[in-house]
Amino acid sequence: MITTNIDKAGDVLNQGKLVVIPTETVYGLAGNAFDENAINAIFSLKNRPKSNPLIVHIKSLEYLEKVASHIPEKAKLLAAKFWPGPLTLVLSKKPEISDLITAGKDTVAVRMPNHDLTLSLLNKLDFPLVAPSANPFGSISPTCAAHVMHYFENELEVVLDGGDCTIGIESTIVGFEEEEVVVYRLGTLPLEEIEAIVGSVTLKNSTSVNPQAPGMQERHYAPNKQSYLTENVDQFLMLNSLDNVGVISFQSEILSPRISQQIVLSSKGDLKEASRNLYKAMHQFDLSSVDCIVFETFPKVGLGLTINDKLKRATTQKQ
């Protein structure tokens, strides 16, 4: 059921069952991070490979010491600046953190979400929550309760409704190798803002069969329909015999008789607004009558780099 009742959600979690929680990034499928049965249930419901680690959600900066055994100084600086918020830190784990969560690694991904409803829930619990996105593995991430219900309508007892996600793109995932900062997943928090706090960082977000962090797979965040990514939509449509096309563009409407439906993500050219609307637009077209989806490449700066990274993993053909 869809509800805003955190007491009900807490009761379900205390029974070892799963609930869906809202965050500022995307909705998460949550369970007790200290309950291996709940963790296994998450993998099962999502059909997620156990080689792909999960993110632990905590209620406060102080709680970090309960899940991480070593916290580098640069990690402390980043957490102090960006928590609660869309930053996930990959840190050496405490023994209490199950290898199921970490895919057998000695590190755990942790973040403090910036959503009042979920923080209130976390403060009522005596355990953290493990919570990957509330969608089947590889599918489009959900940014509202309706997206979750489309995926799991009859399989969840509680979906906490926190409204539309205010950011709509996953968190940036940062790790530490020999105390130096490494970005494993591009996310909402741009590299420039991280570098302003800790200096230069290394980007290691390439595809991996044994990923260090979530979101590194080659195919991810993907619609079911055939989808394409191009820098020039008009030219792409002229060169390819596609009809009944849905186009998702950044700032401007594109005129073509082949386009049946079109969504402009931000007429103001605001990358934050575009990111907030991206998954919603993808869900809309995936459920529509269009035969395929064509995405326009975003400006290759700041949040545009993150959006392009998501789209490269979501599309079946890049041009």
| pLDDT tens for each residue of 14-42 | 999 999 999 999 999 999 999 999 999 99
CA dihedral 296, 302, 305, 310 (to 10 degrees): -80
Backbone angles phi, psi at 290, to 5 degrees: -65, 150
Tell me how far apart the alpha carbons of residues 185 and 88 are, in angstroms, rounded to a whole number.
9
- Give the confidence band of 215 by pLDDT, cuts at 50, 70, 90: low
Per-residue confidence (pLDDT) for residue 319, from 0 to 100: 45
pTM for this structure? 0.94
Every domain of the chain with CATH number 3.90.870.10 lies at 2-203
Interatomic CA distance for residues 31 and 22, integer angstroms: 13
Task: Flag the least confident range among 50-64, 117-131, 214-228.
Answer: 214-228
78: alpha, beta or left? (left if phi > 0; alpha if psi -120 to 50): alpha
Tokens, residue 93: 């784990």
Q: What angle do CA 99, 102, 106 make, to 5 degrees?
A: 80
The answer to whether the beta carbons of residues 251 and 310 sit under 8 Å apart is: no
pLDDT tens string 89-146: 999 999 999 999 999 999 999 999 999 999 999 999 999 999 999 999 989 999 999 9
Residue range(s) of every CATH 3.40.50.11030 domain in the chain: 226-318
pLDDT recorded at residue 93: 97
Q: Does an H or E element contain 129, and which? A: strand 129-130
**CATH class, 2-203 region:** alpha beta
15/39 Cα distance (integer angstroms): 13
DSSP state of 64: G
Q: Which residues contact 45 (CB under 8 A, 6 or more apart)?
A: 18, 29, 152, 155
Distance CA 189, CA 171 (A): 7
pLDDT band at 269 (very low <50, low <70, confident <90, very high): very high
Q: Decide if domain 226-318 falls under CATH 3.40.50.300.
A: no
Residue-wise pLDDT for 285-309, tens only, equals 999 999 999 999 999 999 999 999 9
> Can you tell me the mean pLDDT for 61-88?
97
C-alpha distances (whole Å) from 219 to each of 44, 209, 313 are: 19, 12, 5
